[in-house]
Amino acid sequence: MQFLSLSRRRSDRFSEADFARLLEAEIAQARVLYADGFIRQIWHRGDFPGACILLEADSLEQARARLHTLPMVRTGMLEVSIVPLVPYAGFSPDPSDRDTAMSRSV
């Protein structure tokens, strides 16, 4: 199953020095999660300091647990939301598939 994680730095509670102290450990753990196939793609956000990550996990609970291995998530320095993704059926040749998928997105 795929999930989209959106994180935002809690700059109101942590200083730039706090983030800098964990940066190398955060990068190292992100590489481990990428090599394991958990992180599929990752981007920096353009609107706020934070990240947008495409994840692969068996469940929402597993996605949450694995994200909590990242030092900045574990220490509460990031506000994180995780969105479960379902396949887009708009390209399906079967119209009933499209109707089912559209009802989920409304």
Question: What is the pLDDT, as a whole number, of residue 88?
Answer: 86
Question: What is the pLDDT, as a whole number, of residue 106?
Answer: 44
CA dist 92 and 58 (Å) reads 24
DSSP assignment of the chain equals: -EEEEEEEE-TTTS-HHHHHHHHHHHHHHHHHHHHTTSEEEEEE-SSSSSEEEEEE-SSHHHHHHHHTTSHHHHTT-EEEEEEE-----TT-S-HHHHHHHHHHH-
Average pLDDT of the residues of the chain: 91
- Reported confidence tier of residue 93, pLDDT bands at 50, 70, 90: confident
Task: Residue 49: name the closest of 75, 71, 20, 83 by CA.
Answer: 20
Instruction: Please give the single-letter amino acid code of residue 11.
Output: S
| 39-44 vs 78-84, strand pairing mode | unpaired
What are the structural domains, with CATH classification, of the chain?
2-105 (3.30.70.1060)
Which pTM value belongs to this model?
A: 0.82
